[in-house]
Amino acid sequence: MPSRLETARLTLRPWSDSDAEGHSALFAERGGEGPLPVERSREIIAAQLAAAASKGIALLPVDRRDTGAFIGYCGLLVGRASLDEPEIAYELFRSAHGHGYATEAASAVLAAASTTGRGRVWATVRTWNAPSFRVLEKLGFERDHVSADDRGELVWLTRALPRARRSA
């Protein structure tokens, strides 16, 4: 999967060390988990870069093209799924909600995923996260099943990808 994607309004690109403060601020905005030290963000970014190199899929920072501002991330990961059928994930600052950025970024990621020859992508969403359900619905995801973990119920959704020729 390409490490850089562009849409009409967004750029998805590889992580850099300079993203650590923005990543830390995004994590802090989640609430309930407390602030994430910038050094821990650097470690997470290093792990993301290593995962991208070894697996060929990654979460990518999302920047607005008009301002260059970091607004979150979107991409593929093994997560609760597998490398052959990865999980899509996205998280944006609250100030970026409601503008269609998550749908736009995730659509670009799905298009890129289809060029890898994968047949399906998963998503997992907590039952309370109505905005994520709306994004996934717009992208053609369908509910598959519900599971539970120590944080509560988790809805599994899936979407078939058009079979395209696998890119090198």
Residue 158 near residue 120, CB atoms below 8 Å: yes
What are the residues whose beta carbons fall under 8 Å from the beta carbon of 91, sequence distance 6 or more?
26, 30, 72, 73, 74
166 pLDDT higher than 60:
no
- Over residues 40-68, the mean pLDDT reads 94
Q: In whole numbers, what is the pLDDT of the chain averaged over residues?
A: 92
Instruction: Give the C-alpha distances (Å, rounded to integers) separating 128 from 30, 58, 98, 151.
Output: 14, 26, 17, 12
Q: What are the tens digits of pLDDT across the range 106-159?
A: 999 999 999 998 999 999 999 999 999 999 999 999 999 999 998 889 999 999
Residue 38 near residue 46, CB atoms below 8 Å: no
Can you give the pTM of this predicted structure? 0.91
Which pLDDT value is given to residue 1?
A: 84
32 pLDDT higher than 80:
no
